[in-house]
């Protein structure tokens, strides 16, 4: 189905969860030079990235995005996940859809927040499929490091009370732009309830996984983070910058920006930093 803004919606099936996942794509008028796979954050959906996508399209990139299991227009239970792997399955399907249409183009993975954690852990087994990766405010480390007791009780709750709400995010930490916060709260596809115990435990486990195995990543990587991010610790991006094995890597911290750097008043500068860096990576590869 083609929407008025030109977005193509593609329903696909997630292998693990047997769920219908809502996918979208934005294409430039001329043949694209590369494909961006967009992996959004917790509680939101890909439709919030129209400005991001249209900017990238204006620079010659095609953008493919998916609503994760339990998010947006996809099937699943908001705030809950049966296993973190269903998010990876969604990236699998997104990658398959993009390569089926553009089999010869370089593919770039862009992940924001929880999407950055999904993307980073996905790279541990799939980095050869990508030309580069960009992580925006990735959830590599928690804003407040949980105690050993909290980690222990998290595992207990995940097993016996997986849908019990245990964590609520402050929407005021999303952006310094009040209208972005208003729109976020009013968006019927944004989940404003508490994160369930299973998802919280799965995120903590995958944070530990990427911290333990970050050195396996050799892909060119750009890490972007707001210095005033209260939802995903900037130390996570600093950790990746210091521990991945990529010979081509760059960390940019924007001192005054909040969590959603693509939705801050300075978003044009952030997006320009991203596409300029990506253009250099493509030129280096002769793409």
Q: Each residue's pLDDT tens digit in the chain (287 positions)?
A: 333 344 444 555 444 457 899 999 999 999 999 999 999 999 999 999 999 999 999 999 999 999 999 999 999 999 999 999 999 999 999 999 999 999 999 999 999 999 999 999 999 999 999 999 999 999 999 876 665 656 667 777 888 888 888 888 999 999 999 999 999 999 999 999 999 999 999 999 999 999 999 999 999 999 999 999 999 999 999 999 999 999 999 999 999 999 999 999 999 999 999 999 999 999 998 76
Residue of 122, 141, 171 whose CA lies nearest to 236: 141
Residues 6 or more apart in contact with residue 111 via CB below 8 angstroms: 38, 39, 117, 118, 119, 120, 133, 134, 135, 136, 138
CATH number of the domain where residue 58 is located: 3.40.50.1820
Rounded distance between C-alpha atoms, residue 59 and residue 71, angstroms: 28
- Domain membership of residue 72 (yes or no) is yes
Whether the CB-CB separation of 245 and 215 falls below 8 Å is answered with yes
Number of domains making up the chain: 1
CB 79 within 8 A of CB 163: yes
Domain presence at residue 111: yes
**pLDDT score for 17:** 54
Q: Residue 113 catalytic?
A: yes
Q: What's the domain range around 181?
A: 8-284
43: left (phi over 0), alpha (psi -120 to 50) or beta: left
Q: Which of 45, 88, 112, 259 is catalytic?
A: 259
Q: Residue 133: phi, psi to the nearest 5? A: -140, 140
Residues 208, 242, 106, 115, CA torsion sign: positive
Q: Can 208 be counted among the known catalytic residues?
A: no
Residue 2 lies in a domain: no
Residue 31 in domain? yes
Residue 259 known to be catalytic: yes
In a domain, 152, yes or no: yes
Q: Which of 92, 229, 241, 273 is catalytic?
A: 229
Residue 142: per-residue pLDDT: 82
Enumerate residues 6+ apart whose C-beta is below 8 A from 56.
Answer: 26, 36, 63, 271, 275
Q: Enter the tokens of residue 107.
A: 């593919």
Q: 16 with 83: CB under 8 angstroms?
A: yes
The number of residues making up the chain comes to 287
Does 1 fall in a domain? no
The structure tokens listed for 182 are 């208003």
Q: Is 3 part of any domain?
A: no
Task: Determine, yes or no, domain membership for 134.
Answer: yes
8 A C-beta contact, residue 77 and residue 163: yes
pTM of the model: 0.93
Which of these is catalytic: 113, 136, 154, 237?
113
């Amino acid at each position: 189905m083609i929407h008025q803004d030109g977005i193509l919606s593609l329903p696909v099936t997630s292998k693990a969860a047997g769920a219908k996942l809502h996918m979208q794509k934005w294409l430039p008028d001329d043949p694209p030079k590369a494909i961006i796979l967009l992996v959004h954050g917790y509680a939101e959906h890909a439709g919030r990235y129209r400005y991001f996508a249209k900017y990238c399209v204006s620079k010659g990139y095609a953008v493919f995005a998916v609503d994760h299991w339990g998010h947006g227009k996809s099937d699943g239970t908001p705030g809950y996940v049966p296993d973190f792997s269903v998010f990876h399955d969604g990236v699998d399907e997104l990658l398959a859809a993009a390569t089926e249409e553009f089999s010869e183009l370089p593919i770039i993975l862009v992940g924001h927040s929880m999407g950055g954690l999904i993307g980073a852990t996905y790279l541990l087994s799939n980095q050869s499929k990508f030309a580069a990766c960009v992580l925006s405010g990735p959830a590599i480390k928690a804003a407040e490091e949980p105690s050993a007791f909290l980690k222990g009780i998290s595992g207990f709750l995940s097993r016996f009370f997986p849908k019990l709400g245990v964590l609520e995010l402050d929407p005021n930490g999303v952006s310094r732009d009040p209208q972005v916060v208003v729109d976020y709260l009013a968006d019927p596809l944004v989940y404003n309830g508490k994160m369930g115990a299973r998802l919280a435990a799965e995120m903590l486990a995958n944070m530990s996984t990427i911290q333990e195995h970050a050195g396996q990543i050799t892909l060119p990587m750009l890490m972007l983070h707001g210095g005033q991010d209260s939802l995903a610790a900037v130390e996570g991006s600093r950790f990746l910058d210091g521990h991945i094995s990529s010979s081509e890597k760059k960390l940019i911290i924007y001192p005054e920006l909040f969590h959603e750097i693509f939705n801050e008043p300075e978003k044009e500068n952030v997006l320009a930093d991203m596409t300029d860096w990506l253009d250099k990576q493509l030129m280096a590869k002769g793409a």
